[in-house]
Amino acid sequence: MFYATSDAYAIAALVFVRMLRRLGIRNDASLVVLHLPLSRQIVAKMRDMGIFTALVPELRHVKNRYYRHCLVKLRIFQLHEFERVVFADADAMPLKSLDSLFTIPFEGPIAAPAAYWLRQPFWTSALLVVRPSEAEWQRVSQHFASASDKGFYDMDIINSEFGSEIHTLPAGVFCLNSEWEEIDRAGFFGDFDETYSRVSVVHFTALGKPWVYSLKQVRRLRPKAHPIFYELWETWRKMRDEIL
């Protein structure tokens, strides 16, 4: 499951799906993108790749322009027809198959990785495993009206409502690309190569999104990054070029 609020993020979802298929995905899994209005060409491309697309209404409860559509993500709780939803932010890339997340045992409505770069306990919403239901949708949607006044975004709502119930996914399942941003500074998980070998999903946060800068620009802007930082960028852009 992904959500896309612009063509750029829809293309990112296509990249994620293409990579995921090459890594392996179970036959009974559906691929779904919830989206706001997009170009017809991009929607057609998603459908050609076997992705179910669903145009959904905006949720206008966030004033910050950059994050103004972030609550659309929480519509995954409305997908009652699915027993379990594995959600990933489109501006990330998989390094391993995510099939294990369909069967990983946990109690309660949600599982997520720790937002290890923040004060703990706190969980990221960039990768979620959810049991959708009307009851859980009501729990998240009750925060929408006050989100702007509280300065809440999707991650704040997840933590505020489910903090005592969230099952923490294994360390290393998810990380930020900032783990390799500076070769002279060890990442949170330690050895650069070991981190790369065990992580399943990398989220692009350091420097920006991979569609914004060319690899040449990345090397200029982050001259002291670990080679893996550049490799991730290059891999994403090559896959994007294959699709388009």
Distance CA 6, CA 85 (A): 22
Is the confidence at residue 172, as pLDDT, over 90?
A: no
Q: What is the pTM of this model?
A: 0.96
**What radius of gyration do the chain's Cα atoms show?**
17
CATH code of the domain made up of 2-168: 3.90.550.10
Given this model, what pLDDT does residue 61 score?
84
Distance CA 81, CA 72 (A): 18
- Does 73 have pLDDT greater than 90? yes
Instruction: Specify the pLDDT at position 60.
Output: 85
**DSSP readout, 120-170?**
SS-B-SSEEEE---HHHHHHHHTTHHHHHHHT--HHHHHHHHHTTTPEEPP
Which residues fall within 8 angstroms of residue 77, CB to CB, at 6 or more apart? 130, 132, 133, 136, 137, 139, 140
Share of the chain above pLDDT 70, in %: 100
Provide the pLDDT confidence category of residue 67 given band limits of 50, 70 and 90: confident
- Band (pLDDT 50/70/90 cuts) for residue 64 is confident
Which residues belong to CATH 3.90.550.10 in the chain? 2-168
